């Protein structure tokens, strides 16, 4: 068993130590999870439906408390910390914006978290302004959130969490229902958060998105972490992807078909390899 | 958070295979009893009379969940009656007896309705309503309302998680503040219910719902001998309870 304050020396921002959780007896949603994420890292959590991804991230802001093992976030054991306290450090954006939008206007929606965390008035109006501009919502300021389009609602959900500047940002399936331009927008947002040395965790099915924009991947299957490391290394590993029921990124399939060694997830590497092949033929 | 355990699970007990209509007659008769009597002992008896059915049907776990889920309301009913009646009559004994009665009445109702819903397949319920000449549209609406209760409670949980992730503390403040804390949960729940209702309606119409003027049924429910005995038994018990009033003058 663990004593209550062994965490003074913990350097990692997020630490899972042998964490298990089950919703109904006999079936674990996540089982023996060990992982650590440092400050400033950008991490993708990949895995098939029911792999335990959402259960895992709910442990980071304390919505779920580990039934065995422990989770440390910013030096706090989530077991003895309220969700409200953790939420100040961990911004969790849910998959479906309709599960959180409720206010009369877009502006008030963004204010919700800020007032919950007792920000001073001038700080609130400053942050609301920033969020409205940052997420292109300024012109909808006084509209009811329910009348926005799907993509706009998704942006508002993001804005309503990022406005309070949490040091860890968790995005649950941020790319579902988004067109390619929105995905690029999201990628640049992640890059920007990262440049402010925020930690970003992205839960996704979208393996292309992970391959293109996220340096580290954690692959889950049936409640366990089956691989954790460099995205390029993991996403070009055929057996690994098969065992996690993941379809490889298209660039990886292409580099397998071209028999590139080593296979790659980078477009320009494929281009240069193909050029080399062509030149070899000419010569 | 499973709302009221009204979630039917397939079963083969005698209670499960009774015709929904005969169970419905039992439900009506015993509901009438709970409303008719105010004596706490009689209400306790009505409540206890549903327990053997729970045991025979083997739905004890779900039944307990219904009772446990309603404990909050029972406490609410008890406290408000206690205060209210003491306020008007000034008698502690009267207030206490009346509050106990009201709580028992509610518990009995929950128990009786649990037996009905826990042992009746939703599709049989719809079918029996249709056979009772209730228009199919209404029967189906009722069926779907029941069908979406677990969906709704799951969704309420997700919404609660989402708002707590934005710093909402449900247990903060005095009683009025606490009620207000639920606004950010109720509004998304209502709106997404409307969205879903629209979606379901569209999906049904795309599959030609309402195209046939006259519906026929593949399965028709029939009352058997066991239904006859069950109704007879329910009616006898009902009359026995009534005789308490007629013969002994118990209110």
- The one-digit pLDDT tens for each residue of chain B (251 residues) are 344 445 677 888 888 888 999 999 999 999 999 999 889 999 999 999 999 999 988 888 888 888 888 888 899 899 988 888 888 888 888 888 899 999 999 999 999 998 898 888 888 888 888 888 888 889 888 888 888 888 888 899 999 999 999 999 988 888 788 888 899 999 999 999 998 999 999 999 999 888 887 888 888 888 889 999 999 999 999 999 998 888 877 77
pLDDT of residue A4: 40
User: What is the C-alpha to C-alpha distance for residues B27 and B21, in angstroms, rounded to an integer?
Assistant: 10
Q: Give the single-character DSSP code of A165.
A: -
Residue B136 β-bridge partners = none
Give the residue extent of every domain in chain A: 14-248
Q: What are phi and psi of A19, to 5 degrees?
A: -90, 130
| pLDDT tens-digit readout, B53-69 | 999 888 888 888 888 88
User: What is the C-alpha to C-alpha distance for residues A104 and A125, in angstroms, rounded to an integer?
Assistant: 17
Which chain A residues contact residue B184 at CB under 8 A? 100, 102-103, 112
Q: Chain A contact for B222, CB < 8 A?
A: no
Q: Give the single-character DSSP code of A259.
A: T
Question: Is 70 exceeded by the pLDDT of residue A127?
Answer: yes
Give the residue extent of every domain in chain B: 1-120+224-242, 121-211
C-alpha distance from A146 to closest chain B C-alpha (Å): 8
What value of ipTM does the predicted structure carry?
0.86
| pLDDT tens-digit readout, A170-218 | 999 998 878 888 889 899 999 999 999 999 999 998 899 999 999 999 9
User: What is the C-alpha to C-alpha distance for residues A235 and A58, in angstroms, rounded to an integer?
Assistant: 25
Contact criterion met (CB < 8 Å) for A117 and B167: yes
C-alpha distance from B56 to closest chain A C-alpha (Å): 25
Query: Judging by DSSP bridges, how do beta strands A68-73 and A14-21 pair with one another?
Result: antiparallel
Q: Which secondary-structure segment (H or E) carries A229? A: strand A224-230
Alpha-helical (H) ranges within chain A are 53-58, 83-89, 106-116, 121-134, 150-162, 180-195, 207-213, 231-235, 238-243, 250-257, 267-282
Contact criterion met (CB < 8 Å) for B168 and A84: yes
How long is chain A? 283
CA pseudo-torsion sign A263, A264, A265, A268:
negative
Contact criterion met (CB < 8 Å) for A102 and B184: yes
Q: Tell which CATH architecture fits domain A14-248.
A: 3-Layer(aba) Sandwich (3.40)
pLDDT of residue B136: 87
Contact criterion met (CB < 8 Å) for A87 and B161: no
| pLDDT tens-digit readout, A25-43 | 888 999 999 999 999 999 9
C-alpha distance from B138 to closest chain A C-alpha (Å): 29
User: What is the C-alpha to C-alpha distance for residues A281 and A275, in angstroms, rounded to an integer?
Assistant: 10
């Amino acid at each position: 068993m663990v004593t209550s304050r062994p965490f003074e020396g913990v350097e990692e921002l997020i630490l899972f130590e042998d964490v298990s959780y089950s919703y109904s007896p006999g079936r674990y949603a996540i089982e023996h999870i060990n992982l650590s994420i440092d400050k400033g890292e950008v991490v993708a959590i990949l895995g098939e439906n029911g792999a335990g991804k959402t259960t895992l991230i709910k442990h980071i802001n304390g919505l779920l408390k580990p039934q065995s093992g422990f989770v440390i976030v910013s030096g706090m054991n989530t077991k003895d910390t309220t969700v409200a306290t953790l939420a100040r450090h961990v911004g969790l954006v849910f998959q479906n914006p309709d599960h959180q939008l409720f206010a009369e206007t877009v502006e008030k929606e963004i204010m919700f978290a800020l007032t919950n965390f007792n920000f001073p008035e001038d700080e609130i109006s400053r942050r609301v302004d920033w969020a409205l501009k940052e997420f292109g919502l300024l012109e909808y300021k006084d509209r009811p959130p329910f009348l926005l389009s799907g993509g706009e609602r998704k942006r508002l959900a993001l804005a309503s969490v990022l406005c309070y500047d949490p040091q860890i940002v968790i995005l649950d399936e941020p790319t579902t229902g988004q067109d390619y331009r929105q995905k690029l927008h999201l990628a640049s947002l992640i890059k920007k958060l990262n440049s402010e040395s925020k930690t970003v965790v992205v839960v996704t099915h979208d393996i292309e998105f992970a391959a293109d924009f996220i340096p580290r991947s954690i692959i889950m299957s049936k409640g366990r972490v089956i691989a954790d490391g460099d995205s390029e290394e993991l996403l070009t590993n055929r057996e690994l992807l098969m065992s996690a029921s993941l379809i490889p990124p298209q660039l990886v399939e292409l580099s397998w078909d071209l028999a590139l060694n080593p296979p790659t997830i980078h477009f320009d590497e494929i281009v240069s390899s193909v050029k080399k092949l062509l030149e070899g033929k000419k010569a | 958070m499973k709302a009221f355990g009204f979630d039917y699970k397939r079963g083969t007990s005698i209670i499960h295979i009774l015709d929904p209509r005969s169970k419905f007659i039992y439900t009506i008769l015993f509901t009438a009893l709970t409303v008719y009597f105010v004596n706490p002992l009689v209400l306790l008896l009505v409540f206890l009379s549903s327990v053997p059915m729970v045991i025979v049907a083997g739905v004890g776990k779900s039944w307990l969940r219904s009772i446990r889920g309603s404990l909050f309301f029972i406490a609410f009913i008890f406290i408000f009656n206690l205060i209210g009646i003491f306020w008007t009559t000034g008698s502690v004994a009267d207030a206490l007896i009346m509050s106990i009665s009201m709580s028992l009445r509610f518990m009995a109702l929950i128990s009786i309705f649990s037996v009905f819903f826990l042992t009746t397949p939703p599709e049989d319920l719809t079918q029996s309503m249709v056979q009772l000449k209730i228009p199919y549209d209404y029967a189906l609406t009722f069926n779907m309302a029941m069908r979406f209760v677990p969906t709704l409670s799951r969704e309420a949980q997700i919404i609660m998680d989402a708002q707590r992730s934005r710093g909402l503390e449900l247990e903060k403040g005095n009683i009025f503040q606490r009620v207000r804390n639920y606004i950010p949960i109720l509004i998304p729940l209502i709106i997404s219910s409307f969205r879903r209702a629209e979606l379901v309606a569209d999906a049904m119409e795309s599959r030609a719902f309402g195209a046939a003027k006259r519906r026929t049924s593949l399965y028709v429910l029939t009352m058997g001998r066991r239904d006859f005995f069950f109704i007879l038994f329910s009616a006898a018990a009902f009359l026995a309870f009534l005789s308490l009033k007629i013969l002994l003058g118990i209110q």
